[in-house]
A and B are shown apart, each in its own frame.
Chain A
Amino acid sequence: MAERSFKKEVQLLRKGAGEELHVEGILGVTKALLQSGVAYVGGYQGSPISHLMDVLGDARDILGELDVHFESNASEATAAAMLAASVNYPLRGAVAWKSTVGTNVASDALANLASGGVKGGALIVVGEDYGEGSSIMQERSHAFAMKSQMWLLDPRPNLPSITDAVEWGFQLSEASNTPVMLELRIRACHVHGSFTAKDNQRPPLTVKQAMENPERDSSRIVLPPSVFLHEKEKIEDRLPAAVAFIKQHGLNELFAPRQGGNHKLGIVLQGGLYNTLIRAMQSLGLADVFGNTDIPLYCMNVTYPYVDDEIIDFCRDKDAVLVVEEGQPDYIEQAINKILRNAGIDTALYGKGMLPVYGEYQGKPLKDGVQKFIEAVAPAMLGIAPVVQSYEPDANLIPLQDLDALVPPRPAGFCVGCPERPIFSAIKQLQFEKGEFHISADIGCHLFSILPPFNLGNTTMGYGLGGAAGSAFNVDGVRRTINVMGDGGFWHNGLTSSIGSAVFNENDNVFLIVDNNYSAATGGQDILSSKGSIDHRSTQNPIKKAVQGVGVKWVRVVDTYDVDTVKATFKEAMETPLKGPKVIIAQNECMLNKQRRLKPATKAAVKAGKRVVRERFFVDSETCSGDHACVRLSGCPSLTVKENPNPLKSDPVAYVDNDCLGCGLCGANAHSAVLCPSFARVDIISNPSGWDKFRAKIGGGLIQYLQSKMAAKSAQHKF
């Protein structure tokens, strides 16, 4: 069960021709897939395309009505491999993943797919996780397109352009027998806008029909001598076919300047940057809000392959052209330089240098870059330069630099009550005892362990590779290493690459598998070991059985919130003489998902008059001494601080706010690290039973009597 439900939104997918849809980019892409007669879809979740997978998951009925097969692929590699269905059959297939990480994982299958080519349209939707909000290394998907000869679409980030790109992406793929990648930047995936729908199309050929009528063509298989044929085809047939299709259908857009504009200049840009560029030009007075500019634009909605003729035609007779290409290396700029040189055109070409060499092109860098370009080649266009007035800085103004000290970083972190936090509390406590561990971390929410207050984790090398990344340390040492993996990474590939490999190599270290029932970091999608039962997927396959199946002898399953046991289990794993990997499976459900499941039920029960006990924590601010040792073992957003009520003390005291879910970590830490007596769990009983009330009356009465005696005594010295 994913974190966000799209059950309501997916009904929009039924809309027919002419109806207006107000949706997020991702939902628009899904609708466009159905309008294109797609026969099968799949992919692997990950921001920014997680919602695409969630939408497809929630749209099962609609997909079923159209005979579209949806596969929850185990990884990007399996998703890419699934596109093999389009090799022999005219089936349109689409998969989606987070890029570049997903494309890295998928590249083996992609290279094979691109080598033999496709008969049916094969579309790969890549969520380009680059710039603000990204959680991965900063690279470009562009390189993959070039190296395997696949085509890369980068449409303008408005819903009509994005949804159109899906449709002609399939056509381009079929016209050139080549897989096509559709790149969507983070905010384009989540841009909310509108477009006009078309009718959904049933696939002309369904996967069932294809399966029942097998066809084969051995020349499509990647094996010599066909591989040499494939390379020849790529260059001699597919590339020209693609270029011809792009030209014929005008996929790249040429925007002529408005009246009075300057034809001697030009800007070449990636389609995805169009809106930001227009806004930047508008603020320089070079464009209006409708995109009418003073400089002609060549907007590359297809950023690979390059259409040499179009580029030459655009640049010819121009004095200077600016290439607006995000990220590095500057593949497009390099290519255009080569194209112009070969064509003998000496138009001055600018790009990186005017614009930052690396980093996301948000409004400011584009504005500054365009301004620099115009200042260099046609300064008159910017009008009269503003007179720089010499002015005395107002002595009373607070310098903005002061903000550096006032605005502490706020990186993403574990949520309130996260079941993963206690594991790292335990490891941190064990470190106090045993010294620092080398910890090989992995992709997933558990990677937040690298941040304060835990500061645990040395490297992360890729999803499911936590174990593999620690494999060099398979030697005897004073302390064993800890190799972390989540259940998501485990099923993605960790079972073989980390655990299987560790068994085979008799790795003597400790392997932690964080099992929170979902692929939680990507939005709570279900996986093989999810505890819930889902009618169309096989879940409840325990990780323990899997690791034992590949030969692990030492496995422990622990409840994450039981800090004492987790700590003792790690200690045992560190000390046991038994050879081979020591696997600790730390289990508890992702709190976000659990709350989503439980909250409505609890509310309903209270409303129905049933006895319900809610737990949360509380700190005695008189008892708390303000040393914050508890925070350094938790970092829970709900365990915060407040001003000290005692006028004699200046340090803030710990304080639990009402978001507390009563997960129990505060108490477990107070016990296991022998912290302090300030913590109390508070049990709040709604709709108490008769017995509850009776006990409260008897016990409470006596307690009140004793309390009043105490109060009377202290009243003797009342001020």
Chain B
Amino acid sequence: MSAAINTNSTRPITLAISAMGGQGGGVLANWVRDLAESNGYLAQSTSVPGVAQRTGATIYYLELFPHSEVAEQPPVLGMNPVPGEVDIVIAAELVEAGRAIQRGFVTPANTVLISTTHRSYTVDERQQKGNGLVDGDKIIALAEQEAKQLVAFDMQEVARQAGSVISSALFGALAGAEVLPFAREQFEQAIAAGGVGVEASLAAFAKAYELAKGEPQAEPQPQTEAEPPQLPETAASPSAQKLLARIKAEVPEPCQWLAFNGVKQLVDYQDPDYAHQYLDRLAPYFEKDSAENHYRLATALIKQLALWMAFQDTIRVAEQKIQAPRMATIRREVKASDDQLVYPVEYLHPRPEEVCDSLPKAIGEWALNNRFARRFIDGLFGHGRKLQTGRLSGFIPLYTLAKLKPWRRKTLRYAKEDTEIQSWLKRTEQALAKDYDSACEIIECQALIKGYSDTHANGYKNYQAIMAVVDIWLEETDANPIAERLRSLQRAALSGEDDSALQAALIQF
């Protein structure tokens, strides 16, 4: 036994399961208990059911003690884990492994930590307006540092592939880690005795067993800061080849891959001309940036300009909804089998604004400001629609809308976005003359504009409010750099439900 834990009579084997309610931690605890009880051990398990089980973090705790060591009186088994005294911690989610370490249950001297590396994001992380996800790699690094032995891999994925649930993979990893004084067959008997979904459970168990056994010190994924993917030598069409050649000629090498993605996106969004316009707009900035600056400005601009130029209008959304590859994605995600039929039902709810935005500029403006026209449009589109894009009834309207793509440059929306893009580029250019960092932050502000309808309008409003600050700054002579302030304004704009944080931050100025 490689890393067998202390199994002598002075103390029981202690095992804590750190999981979320509803993950099957109870099933796992039962397996471990049955395993121990059927193989010459006394076992005691405790848990905290109740409301804590409703998706919240929870701890199951077990103590195992060999019958052979029982003297006149039975052993006194503990009710909950004691920091520094836990032999095995099993974590059914990565942050829950972090929580177990935080609570002191994982100690370098004693604890074998068996943790899945998959994440189930908390509400706290998911609800942020930007990226609120915690750094899972760092938790793995800490786990490696704090555990006597770490067995870590994506056990959720192992279970999923076997058509089972994570408890079977965790149980397999526990067996594979060879820390309990039981043989693989004895583990498998415990699963079989449970009697539910035995075949799939055993498959997940086996896979996890192999992985845990073969890889006692699973490495966290190394940070692949390495080479960005290479551009293709040549493109498959003349028009694309022209663009590719331009990228190679004009864009500094470290930025080429990103620019290539931007170009591809814009060709797909509109046409090669539009992508040329993108490169035209980028061109002046490359010479103003440098390797010493790690091309921060160019990188930001390549991303944000491509995103802005590919604004999500109704034509774009229609096109995204009816493309053939999407259907394959859906089928894969819902795990449809070949003999099942799959129909997406799209939830669409354009407001009069979006409808008018899709009209030619003059008509759109008129309709938007005309009470009767607006009411008419509202009557037509004022309630949510459900369109079945897998059936002709839903496909045809969206197909027709997507076919309007060649006329996009004439729409009201295009006119509005294009004007804003131009002012933004102008601000960037002026700022660059004053301060490089500040110019970078002006570019980043574009990321505040996202979402649809109210979310989009609010994002725009926040962006405009910050740009007003920028405009004042641009007019001041010998003003201090504004980069730090812009960063804090962006953070404020992304915090909270409404714009109160931003308003407060604006007043602070």
Interface residues of A (CB under 8 A from B): 22, 47-48, 50-51, 129, 132-133, 135, 157-158, 185-188, 190-193, 274-276, 278-280, 282-283, 288-291, 362-364, 367, 397-398, 400, 402-415, 445, 448, 451-453, 521, 616, 618, 620, 622-623, 625-629, 631-632, 635, 637, 639-641, 646-652, 658, 666-667, 670-677, 679-688, 692-693, 695-696, 699-700, 702-704, 706-708, 710-711, 714-719
Contacts and interface: CB of A to CB of B under 8 A. Distances in A.
B326 interface: yes
Given A187-B79, A407-B102, A685 B450 contact: no
A191 B101 contact: no
B347 A692 contact: no
Interface in B296-326: 302-303, 306-307, 312, 317, 320-324, 326
A405 B344 CA distance: 39
Interface stretch (B229-237, B359-367, B476-484): B229-237
Given A275-B79, A398-B138, A710 B323 contact: yes
Interface in B188-207: none
B139 A677 contact: no
Interface stretch (B126-134, B287-295, B368-376, B434-442): B126-134
A637 B10 contact: no
A323 to B, nearest CB: 20
B453 interface: yes
**Residue among B50, B72, B80, B336 with most chain A CB within 10 A:** B50
Given A275-B76, A625-B312, A717-B240, A676 B455 contact: yes
B98 A407 contact: yes
Contacts of B422: none
Given A364-B82, A403-B102, A648-B306, A719 B240 contact: yes
**Residue among A276, A409, A628 with most chain B CB within 10 A:** A628
A410 B54 CA distance: 10
B142 A367 contact: no
16 contacts: A48-B48, A133-B50, A276-B78, A362-B80, A620-B321, A628-B129, A641-B133, A675-B349, A675-B455, A680-B345, A681-B386, A684-B336, A686-B340, A704-B324, A706-B395, A719-B237
Given A413-B54, A719-B264, A452 B129 contact: no
B127 A453 contact: yes
Contacts of A397: 145
A283 B84 contact: yes
Interface in B83-124: 83-85, 95-96, 98-99, 101-102, 104, 120-124
A22 B261 contact: no
B284 interface: no
Interface string B319-357: 011111010001001111001111111111111000000
Interface of B: 9-12, 20-22, 33, 37, 43-59, 61, 65, 71-85, 95-96, 98-99, 101-102, 104, 120-131, 133-135, 138-139, 141-142, 145-146, 232, 235-237, 239-240, 244, 258, 260-262, 264-265, 267-268, 271-272, 302-303, 306-307, 312, 317, 320-324, 326, 330, 333-336, 339-351, 383-384, 386, 389-392, 395, 399, 402, 447, 450-455, 459, 497
A675 B272 contact: no
Nearest to A360: B80
Contact of B128 (A367, A628, A646): A628
A275 to B, nearest CB: 5
Contact of A658 (B61, B321, B334): B334
B133 A652 contact: yes
Nearest to A398: B142
Nearest to A4: B49
Nearest to B54: A412
B20 A410 contact: yes
B131 A674 contact: no
B77 to A, nearest CB: 6
Nearest to B303: A648
The 9 closest A-B pairs by CB, nearest first: A47-B50, A363-B82, A671-B384, A133-B48, A412-B56, A627-B451, A625-B450, A676-B452, A187-B46
A715 B323 CA distance: 13
A618 B121 CA distance: 17
B50 A289 contact: no
A702 B389 CA distance: 12
A640 B61 CA distance: 29
A410 B324 contact: no
Given A291-B73, A674-B349, A133 B58 contact: yes
Contact of B135 (A278, A406, A622, A680): A406
A412 B53 CA distance: 7
A682 B343 contact: yes
Contacts of B262: 648
A617 to B, nearest CB: 9
Contacts of A618: 330, 333-334, 344
Given A290-B71, A415-B54, A677-B452, A187 B48 contact: yes
A681 to B, nearest CB: 4
Contacts of A673: 454
Contacts of B342: 682-685
A200 to B, nearest CB: 25
B451 A717 contact: no
A156 B321 CA distance: 64
B105 to A, nearest CB: 10
Nearest to B139: A406
Contact of A703 (B98, B123, B268, B395): B395
Contacts of B145: 397-398
Given A22-B37, A403-B139, 14 more contacts: A133-B58, A187-B61, A274-B76, A363-B83, A411-B56, A414-B54, A415-B55, A648-B258, A677-B452, A680-B344, A680-B345, A684-B336, A703-B395, A707-B322
Nearest to A620: B320
A683 B22 contact: no
A625 B307 CA distance: 10
Contacts of B324: 704, 707-708, 710-711
Given A620-B326, A652-B131, A684-B342, A670 B349 contact: yes
A486 B82 CA distance: 38
A707 B342 CA distance: 17
Contact of B51 (A47, A452, A648): A47
Contact of B123 (A291, A445, A451, A616): A451
A666 B345 CA distance: 12
Given A620-B321, A682-B344, A719-B235, A193 B82 contact: no
Nearest to A689: B341
Contacts of A133: 48-50, 52, 58
Nearest to A191: B46
Contacts of A280: 82
Nearest to B30: A192
A683 to B, nearest CB: 5
Contact of A648 (B11, B85, B265, B384): B265
Contacts of A278: 76, 78
A413 B95 CA distance: 17
Given A363-B80, A703-B395, A192 B33 contact: yes
B71 A688 contact: no
A291 B347 contact: no
Contacts of A405: 134
A186 B240 CA distance: 67
Contacts of B83: 363-364
A282 to B, nearest CB: 7
Contact of B95 (A279, A408, A626, A672): A408
A685 B124 contact: no
A574 to B, nearest CB: 20
Contacts of B81: 363
A559 to B, nearest CB: 16
Contacts of A652: 131, 133
Given A706-B395, A718-B235, A452 B78 contact: no
A276 B341 contact: no
A133 B61 CA distance: 13
B55 A413 contact: yes
